Chain A
């Protein structure tokens, strides 16, 4: 590292969740902060003035910012955590671990037989924090607020692609009429956070409204302290759930970078965090084995190796499978990912969809375990002849490519380095080429790449993943910017199955269709799954208990998962037990 430190630091300093975990690994390489933290701490002499108030407020480390800006607008991206599913509440909370929607502001819901009308019963007795009752009219108002005809640019607008109207037939019933059948819209609709009509109808421009004093239904609505580096969110005195929340509130010190966040988390100052921490057993758990816990379930989006399928020879599924066979995923998981996850299977689905997986498809995806001999045979059979160390295409060009990666995302970089070595054995040169994130993203989006590591889409069901991997709907020609399907793969059979999937609200039928989609993926290898991404979460039971864990997986521990609302209900001070 040496003199690279300042640049490396710059690479690690985005105020962003996405990069935080990757970037933190840089701190390990930096050789100072993390080993220093690993050293035993004697008595934790935190500066007395700043020590957290024990047993009062839960300290959460979620957003990375040097200063706080007061924004509780649930229709914008950069609002303060937890504006959604915390201050405001959704109709239902989708729990990825159970695959079910927990009734919240809506108590029950059902589709009409033709799946074109969704009717939801709205909970009785819920009050806005200003004392007014919450009704189905607020629900209808919220959805019409972000309707593109009424206001542009608000999050949620995409739902109006399939919604035709949202109305309240009475105070307790919200009716969602669909313009076309799209049963998966249920997850979007139920996940929408609701705002009060009597407040937001007075807002002239909802897009630019910072909603500094939110009127909401959530467990935490009061903001007694708000300074540029620190703020507190206290409980809603009129919360509709009896006896909840059991804690007084949450507190948020601003941490601008990973090292500061890590300092505070390993030091036991943060009660609940969603940080990537390298070598966590030694750097975090060992600091206080009794209280420090973590849970990294591999339920996040699968990290993929994308090959541009418009470029020969990567239009040949056998070549894609051969490349996949050359990769040592165990090594990637052990070295690049600290064994926090495991190799993906040939369906590419993460652990969140374990019970969706078809054993036949998993067996058909036999191209994910390293087998160099078989890979070489397949490449030979594809007419890619080896000339010395490097294979050549039939037209004589060498198989020598750039493997694109985001510079500074050290887990990805290290995974790419392993892939590059592995492909060398197959006679394919893959030079690891790091780009700044925007530049990397522009390349994958416009299809200006041959090989690139990248993320995939998750969601409530396997639908999102397979649509992102194989659907014509999400396909864009080379040169046009694609949000998904960067590898440019389409499959008419998959299109048909995806349409069927979205047309039925019968889960048994959806599972059957998903099995067929998995089979298509396993047979065609549109892209190469590497490993399912872990979802980071740490907690300390020194002051509070009730966090979800591997032993008690009632919700995800990740602070950004919608189930944070379920976690907030369960947290309680240690003394109160």
Chain B
């Protein structure tokens, strides 16, 4: 219990710190949003219009600390303001257009990558020196070390553009509107194969290697030898004794990755024109869209903190040593 309380206290401080950084960091970037937006519409807007933009975005001239407290109270009320790069859409509306697709793409590829990578890691290490163990890790690391953008573009070009097996873009067919119909679900799945598939392909190697490393160390432990001496089934030793213990570091990594899912898979989204938060974040940063940046960063940091909290709690269940201390 004390462990949990201590962790909760830590999370409260971390949340406040991230809220604060969230406010000050974007404002330390050089330039001002109205000039950047004006530049985007150069040739269509008169230079005199910059003044109107300045007023529209409501950028305050108050002392920065006053602005900071206004920001804190607004955030506590759940008010993130209006986006500047998609003015006058509220930040929450902007995020809503990509959130569920980022969760779908990120979630599916993370879980698939984690499950497949770890399973391969466990099996490979259990049969050390086997064909699986000697070929798979180097091969996957090789694939994983390709620049992702290159790999994804190649996949898109060959499989979608030349062969036409998969759609060229988007999360579902342009001819369908989101609904729970079979057609729509099918369309979503077909559109998900390439984006998620390429992410899984490059991420498996990392999970596999992590698992393999701890698994090797675990297999050398006395309790494994003891379990074998007791005559337990290979299967039981592999999963309940070795894999369960070896999994701990990867669980931490999974928690981290889970939080970062909300950051969006920027390159995947761009290559496959997949709607998501990664690209929104980039647009926000490039346009000095403070409110949107704050909204997205806040969501990401809270997701990371939340995921870590869950991992911490999970540790209590998985690792008896934590419970004891």
Q: Is the CB of A71 within 8 A of B31?
A: no
Whether B270 lies near A9 (C-beta < 8 A) is yes
Q: Which stretch, B93-101, B130-138, B249-257, touches the partner chain A? A: B93-101
Closest chain A residue to B89, Cβ basis = A69
The answer to whether A14 touches B46 (Cβ under 8 A) is: no
Question: Which chain A residue shows the least CB distance to B39?
Answer: A18
> A13-B282, A66-B276, A257-B270 given as contacts; is B85 within 8 A of A157 (CB)?
no
What number of A-B contacts does a CB cutoff of 8 Å give?
230
Q: How far is the CA of A145 from the CA of B38 in the complex (A)?
A: 22
Residue among A77, A210, A439 with the most chain B CB within 10 A?
A77
Chain A residues lying within 8 Å of B45, measured Cβ to Cβ, are 77, 155
Does B89 contact A210, Cβ atoms closer than 8 Å?
yes
A431 contacts the other chain (CB 8 A): no
Contact with B along A175-190 (1 / 0, CB 8 A): 0000000000000100
13 additional A-B pairs beyond A66-B269, A153-B56, A207-B88, beta carbons within 8 Å, are: A5-B149, A47-B168, A48-B164, A50-B170, A161-B48, A188-B46, A228-B97, A230-B174, A263-B168, A263-B169, A438-B30, A441-B39, A474-B47
- Are A68 and B270 in contact, CB atoms less than 8 angstroms apart? no
Question: Does B44 make an interface contact (CB < 8 A)?
Answer: yes
What are some 22 contacts across the A-B interface (CB < 8 A)? A6-B267, A9-B270, A16-B286, A32-B150, A66-B275, A67-B97, A152-B55, A153-B58, A155-B45, A228-B97, A228-B98, A253-B174, A257-B273, A259-B153, A264-B169, A438-B35, A438-B36, A441-B31, A445-B35, A457-B47, A468-B47, A560-B43
Assuming A69-B97, A77-B37, A77-B45, is B53 touching A6 (CB within 8 A)?
no
CB pair A208 B88 closer than 8 Å: yes
Pick from B150, B171, B279: contact of A13, CB under 8 Å: B279
Find out whether the CB atom of B167 lies under 8 angstroms from the CB atom of A50: yes
Q: How far does the Cβ of A306 sit from chain B's closest Cβ, in whole Å?
A: 15
Contacts A161-B48, A260-B273 given; indicate if A253 touches B170 (C-beta within 8 A): yes
Q: Which of B275-325 contact A (CB under 8 A)?
A: 275-276, 279-280, 282-283, 286-288
| Contact pattern, B 123-157, Cβ under 8 Å of A = 1, otherwise 0 | 00000000000000000000000011110011001
Within 8 A of B (CB), among A44-74: 45-50, 66-69, 71, 73
* Closest B residue by C-beta to A560: B44
In the assembled complex, which residues on chain B have CB atoms less than 8 Å from the CB atom of A6? 147-149, 267
Neighbour of A76 across the interface among B56, B147, B177, CB < 8 A: B56
Whether a CB of chain B sits under 8 angstroms from the CB of A154 is yes
* Residues B43 and A254 in contact, CB atoms below 8 Å apart: no
Pick from A14, A45, A257, A442: contact of B286, CB under 8 Å: A14
User: In the assembled complex, which residues on chain A have CB atoms less than 8 Å from the CB atom of B116?
Assistant: none
Beta-carbon contact of A259 and B271 below 8 Å: yes
| Any B CB within 8 A of the CB of A455 | yes
Q: Which residues of B contact A46 (CB under 8 A)?
A: 164, 168
Residues of A that sit less than 8 Å from B by CB: 3, 5-6, 9-10, 13-19, 32-33, 36, 41-42, 45-50, 66-69, 71, 73, 76-78, 152-158, 161, 188, 207-210, 225, 227-230, 251, 253-257, 259-260, 263-264, 267, 300-301, 436-439, 441-442, 445, 455, 457-459, 464, 468, 474, 481, 483-484, 560
Q: Is the CB of A50 within 8 A of B48?
A: no
The verdict on B52 contacting chain A, using a C-beta distance below 8 Å, is yes
| Interfacial chain B residues near A5, Cβ < 8 Å | 147, 149-150
Report the Cα distance A370→B271, complex, angstroms: 43
A10 to B267, CA, bound (A): 9
Bound complex: CA A169 to CA B199 (Å): 65
Q: Is B166 interfacial (CB-CB < 8 Å)?
A: yes
Report the bound CA distance from A416 to B41 in whole Å.
23
Known contacts A49-B167, A158-B51, A263-B168: A438-B177 contact under CB 8 Å: no
Q: Contact partner of A10 among B44, B87, B282, CB < 8 A? A: B282
List residues of chain B with CB within 8 A of the CB of A225. 177
In the complex, per-residue mask of B214-248: 1 if CB is within 8 Å of any chain A CB, else 0: 00000000000000000000000000000000000
Instruction: Compute how far the CA of A9 lies from the CA of B148 in the bound complex, rounded to whole angstroms.
Output: 11
Question: Could you tell me the distance between the alpha carbons of A5 and B267 in the complex, rounded to whole angstroms?
Answer: 11
Q: B29, B49, B55, B273 — which one has the most chain A CB atoms within 10 A of its CB?
A: B273
B85 contacts across to A, CB distance below 8 A = 15, 78
Residues of A within 8 A of B177 (CB): 225, 227
Give complex CA distance A230, B175 in Å.
9
A432 to B56: give the CA distance in the assembly, Å.
35
CB distance from B165 to the nearest CB of A (A): 8
Q: Which residues of A contact B153 (CB under 8 A)?
A: 32-33, 259
Give the distance to chain B from A439, nearest Cβ to Cβ, in Å.
4
* Inter-chain contacts of A154 with B (CB < 8 A): 52, 56
Contact among B31, B43, B164, B270 with A47 in the assembled complex (CB-CB below 8 Å): B164
